[in-house]
Amino acid sequence: MNMKVTVIGGGAWGTALACAARRAGSQTRLWARSEDTASAISSGTNPSRLPGVALQSGIEATSNLSVALEGAEAILLAVPAQTVREVASAMAPLLTDPVPIAIAAKGIERNTLKRMTEVLAETCPSAQSCVLSGPNFAGEVAKGLPAALTLAADDHATAETVQRAITSGSLRAYLSDDPTGVEICGAVKNVIAVAAGVAEGRGLGENARAALVSRGLAEMMRLVTALGGKAETVMGLAGAGDLILTAMSATSRNTSFGIAIGEGRSVQSELASRKAVTEGYWTTAAVLKLATDAGIEMPIVVAADAILSGRIDVDEAVRGLMERPATSEIW
């Protein structure tokens, strides 16, 4: 293959994607904010984000953004959603030619309610954007365990370029023409995962968690279709697949955060104790505003927002959900 790929972001997911690109035969550079992180990744480890995981050899990591982007034929943007605007703005003057950029961040920009592709279009006009999402834990991808994901773009060739850059015997990338649906799925699933974690932490049982995940999928479907996405996307890797993985595993950042809140820890103290970004916390209010503006009901998201903002406690939120008027099971 020998494609020149640049990964932007030295966190767990960025590091895992760099491993995937190397495994696919791509020349791989990675940009990290910290020189210490870049040095560690170049040496084959990322002890702060992927402790104990031996990285794929041959990743060239740097804290110099210009060096990282030089000659890139495909870029994987793997920074937290709320920093995409800042990082993409810094990238823009360094990109003189159009280049495929796969956005691996899952979230909605809080201040503008924009999807990540919309943020990228505003800040980096030369970008040929696509969306990378699916049910993947970074550590497993970094180790080369079998995994699959979705690459969605309006332009098929853009997604195909990124597909070639990362597909190997351990990672299968499926193409989609529904970037809107894939982006909304990625944002909503983090919110539902926080709610499922709260139920787990509160000891509400497996029945309650399964109900939250199922009805959360219904809420995801409503928002995706209201905003112009496709219903079938919700039932694929980026929707049901990612939600099941995230909400049913205590190793998920969003679910483990919810578990801590359900067990009685304060939201702010739990956020302060974490190295990695909990995207579900930062996305909940934005997802709720999108739903309100679209005129659709998302009661689980409403409850999650009320808990995270401190307006009500967990027990009151559960009562509110259980006392809603009985209705038919429809999407």
Would you name the residues annotated as active-site residues? 189
Q: What is the distance between the alpha carbons of residues 273 and 45, in angstroms, rounded to a whole number?
A: 23
Tell me, what amino acid is at 49?
Answer: R
For residue 128, the cross-strand partners are 100
- Which parts of the chain are beta strand (E)? 4-8, 27-31, 60-62, 74-77, 99-103, 127-133, 147-152, 171-176
Tell me, what amino acid is at 162?
Answer: V
Contact 228, 180 (CB under 8 A): yes
Residue 57: enclosing H or E segment and its boundaries?
none
Contact 80, 109 (CB under 8 A): no
Residue 233: enclosing H or E segment and its boundaries?
helix 231-234
